[in-house]
Amino acid sequence: MSRFLCSLDAIREQTGKIEDFLRILSGLVKPFWSAIGRFLVVVTYLEDAIRMAMEWNDQILYLQDFRHIPLGLTYLFLVGNITAMCICSTLIIAGKYPEGAVAGLVVAVFSQTFAYGLISSLSFILRNLFLICGLFMVLYDVWVRQSRAFGGLLLVNSRDRRMYFQVAGRVLLVSLFIGFVFGGPWSIWRATVAFFGFIACVMVAVGFKSKLSAIMLIVILSVFNLLLNNFWTLHQHHPERDFAKYDFFQVLSIVGGALLLVNSGPEVDENKDDDRESV
């Protein structure tokens, strides 16, 4: 028993050193983390807008001949979606009008679901719901930073609001990861990443070494993404290219959400430390 306790103390000491190093490192790059996280969350929407513009004729043909949407509405839909995704994504990256920008991207997602007749596709709907969770991570980051709230939370003090947003951010991050795990074909590598990533997500969700576990999740998913979702190495007409490409950008959204969580976490941790000192 004593050996076991000694081992736990040694683990705590090592993780404490790692956290101290990460705190120093995060202090150097902290001014950029929020912008990078927001970019990664919305990069899938930018890619979607570019793809729609590049495949303009195919989009027109499909919506007219297969979905039987009038030509005028087809043009209005495509132009509106491309414009909304580009402008709203740019606003989110710049940190301007995040509430309106997120609302615009959510509307674009649901309009595509109905226009392409994917309302009955459960997998497509779940994937998009999990991506919307990434957009909520952007709002979470903004609300934590600005100590904003709405509804009944207006009556709650600033420290409690940050705690609620922190819990919400952790839940959203876990939701994003679950969407990644169940959103693609299983393989030994996906199962391995799912196992270690799930452990990290649970640590984030319960608040145990949340900053360290979120960074672990970022590293694991980034390596996995580059090695296994490398769609750029596949031929343009390869049957698996579109799936790999979609998975690649979905994982980027998870990484972006984790970055936002790490970026917002220290403020809450510092408050906890202040509470301990005051006691």
Which pLDDT belongs to residue 59?
92
Top-confidence residue, 63 or 271: 63
Range of 36-50, 156-170, 222-236, 247-261 with top mean pLDDT: 36-50
What is the rounded CA–CA span in Å between residue 53 and residue 33? 30
Asked if residue 140 lies in contact with residue 169, where contact means CB atoms within 8 angstroms, the answer is: yes
In this structure, of 1-5, 103-107, 121-125, the range with the lowest mean pLDDT score is: 1-5
Q: Mean pLDDT over residues 139-151, rounded?
A: 63
pLDDT recorded at residue 270? 43
Buried b / exposed e over 3-35, threshold 16 CB at 10 Å, is: eeeeeeeeeeeeeeeebeebeeebeeeeeebbe
Whether residue 108 contacts residue 45, with contact meaning beta carbons closer than 8 Å, is answered with: yes
Q: Which residue has the higher pLDDT, 167 or 241?
A: 241
Answer yes or no: are the C-beta atoms of 103 and 112 closer than 8 Å: no
Average pLDDT, the chain: 75
Task: Provide mean pLDDT across the span 216-233.
Answer: 82
pLDDT bucket at 258, cuts 50 / 70 / 90 = confident
- Higher pLDDT among residues 221 and 89, named by residue: 89
Residue by residue, DSSP assigns 201-239 as HHHHHHTSSHHHHHHHHHHHHHHHHHHH--GGGS-TT-T
DSSP states along 20-62: HHHHHHHHHHHHHHHHHHHHHHHHHHHHHHHHHHHTHHHHHHI
Who contacts 126 (Cβ-Cβ below 8 Å, separation ≥6)? 179, 182, 183
DSSP structural state of residue 183: T
Per-residue pLDDT of 118-134, as tens digits, reads 887 776 777 777 778 77
pLDDT over 70, % of the chain = 66
- Burial classification of residue 65, based on how many CB atoms lie within 10 Å of its CB (0-12 exposed, 13-18 middle, 19 or more buried): exposed
Q: Is the pLDDT of residue 31 over 70?
A: no
- Going from the C-alpha of 269 to that of each of 129, 166, 272, the distances in angstroms are 29, 10, 5
Looking at the predicted structure, is the pLDDT value of residue 84 above 90? yes
What pTM was estimated for this model as a whole?
0.72
pLDDT at 5: 56
CB of 89 closer than 8 Å to CB of 46: yes
